Structure 1
Amino acid sequence: MDKRFLNYTDWQDTADTLHLFLQMAGKVKLERSCKRPEWGHVRMDTTIQGIGTGIIPAGGCNFEIYFNLVRHHVDVQNSLGARVRMPLADGLSVADFHGQLLNALDTIGAPTRITTAPQEFHDPIPFDQDTKHHSYDRDAVELFLANLQFAHRSLAGFLAPMRGKVDMPAFWFGTMDLSGNVFSGQPAPYSGTDVIGRNGFDEKFFEVGFWPGDTKNAAPSFYALPYPFLADIGTYGSLLEPPQASFLVQESEFVFRLEDAFSAPDPQRAVVDFCRSSFAILQRLDRWEDLDWITEPLTYGLQPLRPGGGKHP
């Protein structure tokens, strides 16, 4: 297994450019898709060669936008066979990509206009005016994809055996992270007024994910975020695994660096242990009503990465 990775500062120019490219595709999906709870309609798919929007409706047919991060191009194509291919290369600015993407959508018969303001991004230049971001390092992009695929395998090992409502790992264009959720089924109204939080936080859940680092924390890391948010974990910190993992009080989340996962004898198991132990701590602080059923073992046979080992918390 490839255990290489990049801190955000090592590839920031390319990371930011790719992030903004993906945001534009995500905004197209946001405009055209049927709305789902917890922003489920904006989740993007990871594949062995890249990231795609999945099926988006457009009148009498469907279309998709797919970023091939191995062959380094974007396909904008519909179910009737129309396709526009856009090469990804160093020097392609966000503004140029924005124009190409809208033209491609027009060409395949799915004209779509999106808001040009970047979402949850540290340098909010409107897409159609952004000539600052134009870097594309192929090697860095391919390594990012490899890290995403490792994260997908690992997070799925924790989420897959859970019963009830579960979102398996998917890419989120706003924060450039890969995450999935297990939901309790218990309502938990959000006290804020922001549109993202109001529509994203409406029942108790446990989110696990991976992000490649950002301007605040350059280290690519796994995270676990319970909602309602935890103010502190008190003495339960001793239950957190592996030993390099920690709980950040200010962010109300558990974190485990990719570098530490890769240093473990079994990196995938280390990530699952991190997710499982974080979930166990949550259940000691705020036990879910249907926990026994949610963690009831599956009957397909041995589940070596089942959350909780032999028992639920």
Structure 2
Amino acid sequence: MGWPKLDYARWEETGRGLHLMAQMAGKWRLAHTPWMPHSWHATLYVVPRGLTTGPVHGSSGCLEILFDLSAHRVEVSAAGGGLESFALEPMSAAAFHDRLGRAVAALGGTFDIHPHPSEIEDATPFAEDHRPRPWDREAVEAWHDALLRIVPVFERYRTGFLGRTSPVHLFWGAMDLAVTRFSGRRAPSHPGGIPNLPDEVTREAYSHEVASAGFWPGDGVGEAMFYAYAYPAPDGYADAPIPHGRWVGDLGEFVLPYAEVRAAEDPEGVLSAFLERAYGAAADLGGWDRAALDCATGRPGVVRPV
């Protein structure tokens, strides 16, 4: 089977609802996990059934929140076998907040999240947002299917770097799947200014030079997109020849429409070329030590040659 079609017009309202739901689960993880550099402690992960917080350890024991996007349910599980679940269906952010909070509390956990959404203009508190949200099961399943195609490409890209590199994880602030390479050098202080996100969080996230890439569903641009950027962007970066990508000045990023990748004879190859060339431009123009940082792409069962 080929990569799934993503219809943003169909996904848009369901996606906005899922975005708020993911923020609540992510904020719960954030509230109970020691801070890791670059906010890596707050992310969600793509798994065969959907999205998960992974295990979160607290005073009440170990809990996990899973968005099962195949069965369209949320499961909160506890060490020892405890399980609470409820259906993913049309509902408001306030209704989801209530259901998730009760599920966590039923297993002995504390649902003490920051009450406002992050990185979006409308910061209506979750518990006060009673706007009805649709739940288009087919659109959600297509998005999850796309993530399952993208993750292994990102994972292979991640193996070709000896320096510090992030996991492949989903940032619920902008609902983007991301992977980031680091030069190892400090970066100038980030100016901040991201809506409803403390500047100190942004500055910590961008404390060191990065070449980052990812995928987001399309809010603000009207279609699903891959992206790549550097911080700080070196001189000439915007003019670098990136296969299939185009520079968008307002974003400060190269973008590659998901639809173009899907339509290609070799979607994985097109996406891999975009990732590698965008990184190469950032590293070459930024003076990264590529001889020390780069390595061959990893292969299953084959030890990396030294």
Question: What's the TM-score, normalizing by structure 1?
Answer: 0.89
Question: Are the aligned partners of 2:160 and 2:298 in contact in 1 as well (CA < 8 Å)?
Answer: no
Question: Are the aligned partners of 2:157 and 2:297 in contact in 1 as well (CA < 8 Å)?
Answer: no
Q: Which residue of 2 aligns with 1:20?
A: 20
Query: C-alpha displacement at 1:8, in angstroms?
Result: 2.9
Q: Which residue of 2 aligns with 1:183?
A: 182
Query: C-alpha displacement at 1:134, in angstroms?
Result: 2.1
Q: Which residue of 2 aligns with 1:158?
A: 157
Q: Structure 1 298/95 Cα, relative in aligned 2: closer, same or farther at 3 Å?
A: closer
Cα separation, 2, equivalents of 1:162 and 1:232: 23
1:195 to 2:200 alignment:
yes
Query: C-alpha displacement at 1:175, in angstroms?
Result: 0.6
Residue-by-residue CA offset, 1:165-195 (whole Å, 9 max, x unaligned) = 1113111111111001111111113243512
Q: Which residue of 2 aligns with 1:115?
A: 114
Q: Which residue of 1 aligns with 2:243?
A: 241
1:76 to 2:76 alignment:
yes
Query: C-alpha displacement at 1:105, in angstroms?
Result: 1.3
Aligned length: 297
Q: Structure 1 227/130 Cα, relative in aligned 2: closer, same or farther at 3 Å?
A: same
Cα separation, 2, equivalents of 1:178 and 1:213: 12
Query: C-alpha displacement at 1:114, in angstroms?
Result: 1.2
Cα separation, 2, equivalents of 1:86 and 1:255: 37
1:149 to 2:148 alignment:
yes
Query: C-alpha displacement at 1:126, in angstroms?
Result: 1.4
Query: C-alpha displacement at 1:270, in angstroms?
Result: 0.4
For 1:112, the aligned partner's letter is F
Question: Are the aligned partners of 1:230 and 1:252 in contact in 2 as well (CA < 8 Å)?
Answer: no
Cα separation, 2, equivalents of 1:231 and 1:76: 48
Cα separation, 1, equivalents of 2:238 and 2:86: 52
1:89 to 2:89 alignment:
yes
Unpaired stretches in structure 2, ≥5 consecutive residues: 193-198
Cα RMSD over matched residues? Answer: 2.1
Residue-by-residue CA offset, 1:101-136 (whole Å, 9 max, x unaligned) = 111111101112112211112433211111214210
Query: C-alpha displacement at 1:60, in angstroms?
Result: 5.3
Q: Which residue of 2 aligns with 1:225?
A: 229
Cα separation, 1, equivalents of 2:223 and 2:280: 25
Question: Are the aligned partners of 1:7 and 1:218 in contact in 2 as well (CA < 8 Å)?
Answer: no
Q: Percent same amino acid at aligned positions?
A: 27
Question: Are the aligned partners of 1:232 and 1:249 in contact in 2 as well (CA < 8 Å)?
Answer: no
Q: Structure 1 47/235 Cα, relative in aligned 2: closer, same or farther at 3 Å?
A: closer
Question: Are the aligned partners of 2:54 and 2:64 in contact in 1 as well (CA < 8 Å)?
Answer: yes
Question: Are the aligned partners of 1:231 and 1:252 in contact in 2 as well (CA < 8 Å)?
Answer: no
* Range with bigger deviation, 189-198 or 276-285: 189-198
Cα separation, 2, equivalents of 1:10 and 1:230: 38
For 1:262, the aligned partner's letter is R
Cα separation, 1, equivalents of 2:238 and 2:215: 25
